Structure 1
């Protein structure tokens, strides 16, 4: 493409080579991704590489590790229950934008877990609006890099992008500056973890580093889960048999009570719905890397600077790996299905290898718990005449809106 070689890996063997065996040469994100996000994320984990990435990964991963789910799950459940209560007041057949509803829900959750309950509720709307504004105006293609121009060449940034960055950074700086006075309340939060963190030399993170990592966690944890939830509602609206099985599982396990984190292992079908949604509509449909040196995949020579793309959108629909690859079949992720038996390099909604998403457990459990809370009492139908088509920007969305109608159900 123009002056860049592009290599697409669409089988587990070469996914493993690119992201695991040859990670050292393919750890760097594409110039497009870095140029699009560096104004906002700085040297944050999502766009950094080599020594900076290694140091930050050691610090950030434990803060959002699986072991911290017990701290964060109550916030997820509490926020989902608030959304459910809000839906109760709207009445049978109420029209909603499911994409916007899920975006609001996941933004509240991520804000409260990053900043703590009080600050999360205070700043959620401001942060969400500023992030949405940034995504609307950021360039989708870095043309200079595709033409082979050097990265030190300044990129033009529109006023809207600069305004959004200033707005987000100002809010994050204000939160970080004021957080120390609140640490005595004992509440667990990501900001608290970042402030307490020390590197291998015992040094704390600087203020800019804390701000950058908080921005990364918000960006990665908000929109990706919101899109997954929206896609799940759409798919369930088209598969009433799957919705019925989901409701039966929730009614049987919960008997009308609120879900808990300990219930998640008892939700195999709920989990399968989320996993199948991630297969069909992976939140990040293209995982790009830049070759730091010349290399080879099989008979293919890879030039230095080439773009190496693992494309979950293609990989997850590869007919040599999946039966009926374009069908919505949650059962494939139950024991014995081709999803349950799939190579871990053939199913990569959270990436794979050293750069696998540090928030994998957080995002997956969040989606399962939120679906359980909401589907306990509601079914959603797609608005008549609506045709849903995927739109890929930084993430894969069901268009700009997902009009659906709410229908209360009785367990």
Structure 2
């Protein structure tokens, strides 16, 4: 058992909401029905405690890996055999991402990874961070004009903020500022209407068998493609002009083994991957962090004191991040409790064995940060909000016990950018405002493509003196 806190709290820590946990596994029909609405609600308490277990869903074997050792085996040691995303994830994302990094595998994935990874590498933070500070300062200044007597949808606010940031970093500050609202609206519509289960794959039907996609799915994907195609054309048709951006950097990179860049469809697909990875996930993290700070006055006061002491009235820059260890710890504890991508799935390309469990070709492998990050034995008081777990000097969790950005060769290339962005934005907002949940609001995590605090998060925002 880890001792998570650098200094034991004097009062019981805050325990944020999570869905009720059935005492035992649910019948298949009930489980599939519940999974369509919120698959976080299907897990019994025993699911959090076990290491490797499995069952058969219709015609598919499903194995859940819920221990650091099994995660290492699947995502690192035997990555080549478990690199392919599950059919459900592929079919949910292909209409939007095409052959982008999230859904590709094999030689194509390796080729794209070699192009995209250097573009989002930690070494580019200094170049991209000013857009984060700029957008965070604009949002802070906008909040100063809000009435504390009227609720504001903080989830939507964080969606707009992170969309502005990711659009500015992908496309440049001038172009990105104009595109953010359109892409955010279309992505929200896409996530709301995309299916959460793939019954045809569970029935054994192959990938080439057509999947039904609603008109709403097709239209929201078309809207995103149209906006992104236009932005890419503005950039690529003016080589050598304009400000730094991730797309411009990708346009200068060559496909490995050639002297040519990616084609425009590939640019679009990877730009949307970067947008989805950098917008929705960070928005959810910030919304959850602001909600939990509104419920935990001790942590909120501590964060304000740190921000005011380190920054005064400034918004943090990249150079300020070492001065904000508690703010960063709040972000990391939020990522533990509410991992933005709470389910990572793979399909076995060939037979294998995970521990003492044989695995057949085609088996679906599930690694759930939602389960792993709340596993008794790995975490003390696993459902409690204890940012001190991540303070400097605190014991580190076992490797592969904390995987909010995945792990292994498919780990998120923008991990450092995302952590810097969330810390700067949280300091700018939670360090300058007190937030109060609108009375009567019930907050409950819901998992679709990402983990959100419901559809809205109404809160009242008041400037701190």
Q: Deviations over 1:109-150 (max 9, x none)?
A: 111111111111121111111111211221111111011111
Asked whether the 8 Å contact 2:136–2:315 carries over to 1, the reply is no
| Aligned-residue offset at 1:91 | 2.8
Structure 2 matches for 1:6-405, cutoff 5 A?
6-200=62-256, 201-337=258-394, 340-405=395-460
Q: Which residue of 1 aligns with 2:8?
A: none
Q: Distance in 2 between matches of 1:150 and 1:56?
A: 25
Q: Distance in 2 between matches of 1:180 and 1:58?
A: 20
Q: Distance in 1 between matches of 2:236 and 2:112?
A: 21
Q: Distance in 1 between matches of 2:95 and 2:85?
A: 15
Which stretch of structure 1 is more off in the superposition, 277-286 or 371-380?
371-380
Q: Which residue of 2 aligns with 1:407?
A: 462
- The answer as to 2:59 corresponding to 1:3 is yes
Q: Distance in 2 between matches of 1:30 and 1:38?
A: 12
Q: Which residue of 1 aligns with 2:50?
A: none
| Aligned-residue offset at 1:298 | 1.2
Q: Distance in 2 between matches of 1:152 and 1:161?
A: 19
Q: Distance in 2 between matches of 1:38 and 1:138?
A: 11
Q: Distance in 2 between matches of 1:316 and 1:252?
A: 32
Asked whether the 8 Å contact 1:256–1:376 carries over to 2, the reply is no
Q: Distance in 1 between matches of 2:64 and 2:145?
A: 49
**Secondary structure at the residue paired with 1:313?**
helix
TM-score by length of 2: 0.86
Moved over 3 A (4+): 180-186
Q: Deviations over 1:2-34 (max 9, x none)?
A: 111111111101010010001010010010010
TM-score by length of 1: 0.97
Q: Deviations over 1:194-218 (max 9, x none)?
A: 2111022222100110010001111
Q: Distance in 1 between matches of 2:279 and 2:315?
A: 23
Structure 1 unaligned spans of 5+: none
Which stretch of structure 1 is more off in the superposition, 183-192 or 47-56?
183-192
Q: Distance in 2 between matches of 1:142 and 1:257?
A: 48
- Over the aligned positions, Cα root-mean-square deviation in angstroms equals 1.2
Q: Distance in 2 between matches of 1:91 and 1:362?
A: 32
Which stretch of structure 1 is more off in the superposition, 212-221 or 380-389?
380-389
| Aligned-residue offset at 1:181 | 4.8
Q: 1:135 to 1:56 in 2, by over 3 A?
A: same
Q: Deviations over 1:245-300 (max 9, x none)?
A: 10111111112223111110111100100000000000011111111111111111
Asked whether the 8 Å contact 2:304–2:430 carries over to 1, the reply is yes
| Aligned-residue offset at 1:177 | 1.7
**Secondary structure at the residue paired with 1:24?**
helix
Q: Distance in 1 between matches of 2:302 and 2:404?
A: 24
| Aligned-residue offset at 1:182 | 4.5
Q: Distance in 1 between matches of 2:254 and 2:385?
A: 45
Q: Distance in 2 between matches of 1:390 and 1:366?
A: 22
Q: Distance in 1 between matches of 2:164 and 2:104?
A: 27
| Aligned-residue offset at 1:336 | 4.1
Q: Distance in 2 between matches of 1:320 and 1:259?
A: 36
Q: Distance in 2 between matches of 1:180 and 1:149?
A: 40
Q: Distance in 1 between matches of 2:86 and 2:249?
A: 29
**Secondary structure at the residue paired with 1:144?**
helix
Q: Distance in 1 between matches of 2:462 and 2:222?
A: 41
Structure 2 unaligned spans of 5+: 1-56
Q: Distance in 1 between matches of 2:221 and 2:311?
A: 44
**Secondary structure at the residue paired with 2:279?**
helix
